[in-house]
Amino acid sequence: MVAMGPAELNDFLAAAFPGADLPMRVTRADDDGVELTWPYHQSQLRPGGTLSGPTLMTLADTVAYVAVVSRIGPQFLTVTSSLQIDFLRKPPAADLRATGEVLKLGRRQAVISIRIHSTADDRLVAHSTCTYALPAEPSEPAEPSAPQT
């Protein structure tokens, strides 16, 4: 069952990463999983004119985070414990669309499958599996810590 919808998840991402100005947007959150879009920007390119691996890994990790939080509610301290990615083809300079499906949601961990497509031709460009460590259940949602000065 989904605990948070797309609008709530977008607000949560902005609160979780206040200085990041993430251009990604959650477009779907339901019992089948989540979907995010990431608009193309030339800063994502690598030599050869394709989107970079770090861009795809960032998107995969964010989709996994959103998929877990959509199920358990706003828990800032949910963290990545592993991320594996297969680059299947060179992604062209275009927007990306990624879907995430929670394969297992346990008491202390979650396993998520992520599929990343290029919107240029809707071809699958990467597949990722991510495991998240879940926080002990707090009495209220944990807030992100303030930056150290």
| pLDDT tens digits for range 14-28 | 999 988 888 999 999
pLDDT of residue 139: 38
Compute, in degrees rounded to 10, the torsion defined by CA atoms 18, 21, 23, 24: -20
pLDDT digits (tens, 9 = 90+) for 81-125: 999 999 999 999 999 999 999 999 999 999 999 999 999 999 999
Q: Say whether pTM exceeds 0.85.
A: yes
Residue range 88-99, pLDDT digits in tens: 999 999 999 999
Return all residues near 127 (Cβ < 8 A) that are at least 6 apart: 85, 86, 88, 113, 114, 115, 116
All domains of the chain in start order, with CATH:
6-133 (3.10.129.10)
